[in-house]
Structure 1
Amino acid sequence: MFEFKRMLRHPLNWLSGAVLAAAATGAAFSMMMPAAGAAGAADTGYRSGLPVLGALPPLDGAVTWLNSPALSGKALQGKVVLVDFWTYSCINCIRTLPYLRAWERKYRDQGLVVVGVHTPEFDFEKEIANLNQALARFMIDYPVAVDSDRRIWTAFRNNAWPVFYIADARGQLRARVVGEGNYEKTERIIQSLLAEAGKAGAPDTLVTPRAAGEQSAPDLAHLGSGETYVGYAQASNLAGGGQLERDAPHDYARTEVGSNQWSLVGNWTVGAERARLNHADGSIVYRFSARDLHLVLGPGPGGKPVRFQVRIDGRAPGADHGSDTDVDGNGSIGDTRLYQLVRQSGAVKEHLFEIRFLDAGASAFAFTFG
């Protein structure tokens, strides 16, 4: 999931100064001397003002492709290409999807190709069946390269989710956009590169896609809680200064939970990526401050559904229920994915969240907020 510190820890020298500096020029349809063109790319004399950052790396090495045969450089010749590095349970990635779908549909006839490169963070995201369910859930019909071995990720020297790489019709990389947001600037980049390629019919309006549930934009003004992993490899902010027993069943007692702290209750086995509940009626408690609370969850062994019940400050959520619960806080885990469990409908305040699992076998991976 998106972490700016991770990007800064591994600078991309070949893209230095590129990130969004060029995007700040907006559409930037400035006249410049024409450059030598490649086959399939019209030479209009227009140049967008965006820098050339090098050649778009090849999309070779995917485990498989979904929604399309494998796309080579030849297949993309003459196209403006937006490559999106994403993973399906990442909330930052999920919130970009309404824009990616809208851009792909709006500009496909003018020569835009959107390519999703799905590079998993968790092991469950490597399972093709899980990814196919996510594509259907999110109504993604553009090409997706399944990059479970991180070969494309490595070729791009990528280090965060989500990241957009945008190339012109000559196969030259022209912009790199890190993280969610910056949608207007990204669309202006697309428009400018289509114009540069001679696509005179490209609209100059901006999309305003409708988004619901976990795909909605975050409430950044009231976002006081951050991504929190449950597996011991990256776990933090455990209440009471407690320790997680690694890879072995353990009884966790209820404890006082401070701001942005969490705890397990019941008998759990905590692995590197996840905690799995061994007996029914276990809980996870988190004191959070945000409009939305999400939790990546998985069902029991063999995909057996697990029922759960959410409480906010000890009460049913009512109007503050998320898209994956009802007003009484009831829900069920059927797939391994991100679940929206709380959306505060009024003033955003700090609350004590608890999810109680009525069946054994549930897996919990990470909290995110919006």
Structure 2
Amino acid sequence: MAISIEIQWRILVCIVILLPLTFLTINCGFQNKDATDYRATDNTKPDLTADKALTDVIEIGHMTVGGDIGDLAPEFSGITNWINSSPLTLQELRGNVVLIDIWTYTCVNCIRTIPYIKEWYSRYQDQGLVIIGIHAPEFEFEKLTANVERSMIDLDISWPVAQDNNMKTWDSYGNMYWPAKYVLDKNGVVKYRHFGEGSYAETENAIRILLEDYGPNKIDYDNPLPVDQKVDLSFKQSVLPKVTPELYFGRRRNAGILLSGGTPYIVQEEYYLDQEQPVVLIVPDVLSSDKIYLNGEWQIEEENVTHSRDSTDSSDFVAIKYSSKTVNVVMSSSTPTLQKIWVTVNGDWLTDQNKGDDVLLESTGESYLWIDKPQMYKVINHGKYKKDMTLNLATDSMGSQFYAFTFGVYEEGP
């Protein structure tokens, strides 16, 4: 569906207003292979001679401070709160190997890495490894300490986490991605980094090499190195497989894409008509793949859309035609009351065979979920890859907030 010239002019005005915000466009889940290669092919003891760059003695006073390989890691700055710890500094952590994990709690890519970090924490915390989580929020509600603490309980995170609500530490590392991992040696020098998911074996191998300074007998090389998550076989065997990318509901993201000349996540013209008052949108009969559609009355906001009326039925809904194995939605509520969201796929209620972990099933056949806190909700798990399925999320009450869709095709997990 093309967007008319008139609407494009309206969008352009919006973009000019939002231009400073577009430079904050950052990526959740980008995977980057750093030029410094610590690729591990097995679980044998690494050759420290071959990895001499990891253990070189350096002159701290003559180093560049930053997040690049070989830089002296910047001190934590702008931290608004510490969880699971009193305030820490890198200076006082000298002598330890430090893994800095930059994450945010609704990022599905971050969530997928947490089991691996847990394993490293369990294996190496008594051998000189310190893990520090830097929680850099993507959405405003992720700045609230209570929300972060609750998510850490849900995810069973026990290492120290610093809230970087103003992105000061993020900026000091020159970071652009969620998640991002920086491994520092005992002098506080960045010796390894990785952006996004994956490369878990090479990350652990880098940790092992740096921990060698504490004595070669302390590393248990009988422990196998981790294997990256496997893509589901049904996806590999599909004809012309595709995966719906991460999609955002908010005005800022959509305006940013338009500014760069791309097609936004939401292509309904009504979405762009009024930035102050709720707008009424109608879902077309035919949906384009990988686009968000809104039906009913919605308030368009910077980060999200909010359902803005009560109704006697569930005729107001979000729709999307997607291709994936799993579907997750970041949702919240602008009211203190529970928000009920009815869930259907291709017009049918969900079953035990395709519902996500957060969806409930009624004896009447209905499938729904409750929005009781701001988080990522696991809505769909088909058990295998599906192409061009239509998901509807319906609501009859004011206050339901939608932020982002994410999708997955792994054998396990969201």
Q: Which runs of 5+ in 1 are unaligned?
A: 8-17, 40-50, 211-215
Q: CA deviation at 1:24?
A: 2.2
SS in structure 2 of the partner of residue 200 of structure 1: helix
**Structure 1 residues 231-270: aligned runs within 5 Å:** 231-235=250-254, 236-239=264-267, 243-244=271-272, 245-255=274-284, 256-270=286-300
Cα distance in structure 2, aligned partners of 1:150 and 1:167 = 20
Residue of structure 1 equivalent to 2:389: 351
Residue of structure 2 equivalent to 1:47: none
Q: Does 1:316 align with 2:346?
A: no
**Structure 1 residues 1-370: aligned runs within 5 Å:** 1-2=27-28, 4=30, 19=34, 21-24=36-39, 28-31=46-49, 35-36=56-57, 53-198=70-215, 200-204=217-221, 205-206=223-224, 219=232, 221=236, 223-235=242-254, 236-239=264-267, 243-244=271-272, 245-255=274-284, 256-280=286-310, 281=314, 282-301=316-335, 303-318=336-351, 319-327=353-361, 328-370=366-408
Contact 2:279 2:297 in 1 (8 A): yes
Q: CA deviation at 1:170?
A: 2.1
Contact 2:69 2:193 in 1 (8 A): no
Over 3 Å counting, the alpha-carbon distance change for 1:154 and 1:123 in structure 2 is same
Cα distance in structure 1, aligned partners of 2:181 and 2:200 = 11
Cα distance in structure 2, aligned partners of 1:35 and 1:283 = 58
Q: CA deviation at 1:324?
A: 0.8
Over 3 Å counting, the alpha-carbon distance change for 1:20 and 1:114 in structure 2 is farther
Q: CA deviation at 1:62?
A: 0.6
Over 3 Å counting, the alpha-carbon distance change for 1:76 and 1:355 in structure 2 is same
Residue of structure 1 equivalent to 2:14: none
Cα distance in structure 2, aligned partners of 1:131 and 1:241 = 36
Contact 2:323 2:385 in 1 (8 A): no
Identity, % of aligned pairs?
Answer: 26
Q: CA deviation at 1:348?
A: 2.3
Cα deviation 1:67-107 (Å, max 9, x = unaligned): 00111123312111100111111111111111111111111
Q: Where does structure 1 differ by over 4 angstroms across 4 or more consecutive aligned residues?
A: 32-39, 207-210, 216-223, 239-242
Cα distance in structure 2, aligned partners of 1:314 and 1:217 = 31
Contact 1:239 1:258 in 2 (8 A): no
Amino acid across the alignment from 2:141: F
Cα distance in structure 1, aligned partners of 2:385 and 2:324 = 10
Q: CA deviation at 1:341?
A: 0.6
RMSD over equivalenced CA pairs, Å: 2.7
Amino acid across the alignment from 2:76: L
Contact 2:330 2:404 in 1 (8 A): yes
Over 3 Å counting, the alpha-carbon distance change for 1:191 and 1:114 in structure 2 is same
Q: How many residues align?
A: 342
Contact 2:271 2:279 in 1 (8 A): no
TM-score normalised according to structure 1 size:
0.85
Q: Which runs of 5+ in 2 are unaligned?
A: 1-26, 61-67, 255-263, 409-414
Contact 1:239 1:257 in 2 (8 A): no
Over 3 Å counting, the alpha-carbon distance change for 1:108 and 1:346 in structure 2 is same
Cα distance in structure 2, aligned partners of 1:330 and 1:148 = 33
Cα distance in structure 2, aligned partners of 1:165 and 1:347 = 33
Amino acid across the alignment from 2:304: R
Contact 1:93 1:162 in 2 (8 A): yes
Contact 1:249 1:269 in 2 (8 A): yes
Cα distance in structure 2, aligned partners of 1:147 and 1:185 = 27
Cα distance in structure 1, aligned partners of 2:250 and 2:268 = 17
Residue of structure 2 equivalent to 1:13: none
Cα distance in structure 2, aligned partners of 1:124 and 1:346 = 33
